[in-house]
Amino acid sequence: MFGLKRRNRAPEQRTARGRDIAVAGRRMPLTIKENARATRLTLRIEPGGKALKMAVPVGISEQEIDRFLHRHHGWLTTKLSKLPKPSGVAEGGHVSIRGKPHRIERTGKPRGITRALEIDGEAVLMVGGAPEHLGRRIADFLKKQARGDLELAVARHTEALGKPAAGLRVKDTISRWGSCTSDGRLSFSWRIAMAPEFVLDYLAAHEVTHLAEMNHGPKFWAQCKRLCPGTDKAKAWLKRNGSSLHAVDFNS
């Protein structure tokens, strides 16, 4: 993330607008959010390298935004070149389930349940339906997988913590893997179903810990590690591999 300080005393407000910009030979969506608390311009690449986000002080001009983007075009290009390239899903390709690559194979039938199997020692994901629905059906399978695994992990960790969650949902979040509201509702990215089980377990423990500690202070991390001793290992895995999970395009 790159930033530039700027003084601003505008009234409290938040607005957002969007545009596309050219970076490294491709068009990328850019969301620009005004925030009265912001004292500088900040630019962030969303996980997976599919989009950009800017936070700016209220009332800043388009010309100043353009100058900021122009000055940091080289930084953007370098950062994007290090991210995994967006990839789609296709028959004969692979998709990771619980950290294990599965070869994608169509059944050729118009209907049927998507199933993860082992055939002759090879992990295979059997997908029915029309070819144009392949990505959607795989995403639906991962959502169901994520919900089931997360419900079990959350139940285990809330019991250990002694605090129940008010609800659980999965969605395709971009900026974070999970969240916990002040009233105890947990949300998770269903893409975590592609990560190894110990990573999903950490994510569940992380958000459950927020039921007791709505911060990331020393008490939070101590409790998180009590629930999930593999916290550091899982955090390192997500740091190395998280962008590659976000880079998978199920709409292609």
Supply the pLDDT for residue 79: 80
* Cβ–Cβ under 8 Å, residues 44 and 52: yes
Q: What is the pLDDT of residues 128-161, one digit of tens each?
A: 999 999 999 999 999 999 999 999 999 999 999 9
Q: Which long-range contacts (CB under 8 A, 24 or more apart) does 101-109 make?
A: 104/134, 104/138, 106/131, 106/134
Q: What is the pLDDT of residues 81-131, one digit of tens each?
A: 777 676 789 999 999 999 999 999 999 898 889 999 999 999 999 999 999
pLDDT score of 245 more than 80: yes
What is the distance between the alpha carbons of residues 102 and 118, in angstroms, rounded to a whole number?
9
What is the model's pTM? 0.75
Report the percent of the chain where pLDDT is more than 70.
Answer: 92
| Mean model confidence pLDDT for the chain | 89
Supply the pLDDT for residue 112: 86
Q: What is the pLDDT of residues 167-193, one digit of tens each?
A: 999 999 877 899 999 999 999 999 999
Per-domain residue ranges of the chain: 2-81, 88-249
Q: Please, what's the largest Cα pairwise distance for the chain?
A: 66
Domain 88-249 has CATH 3.30.2010.10: yes
Residue 35's pLDDT band, with cuts at 50, 70 and 90, is confident
Residue 3's pLDDT band, with cuts at 50, 70 and 90, is very low
Mean pLDDT value of segment 1-8: 42
Mean pLDDT value of segment 37-48: 84
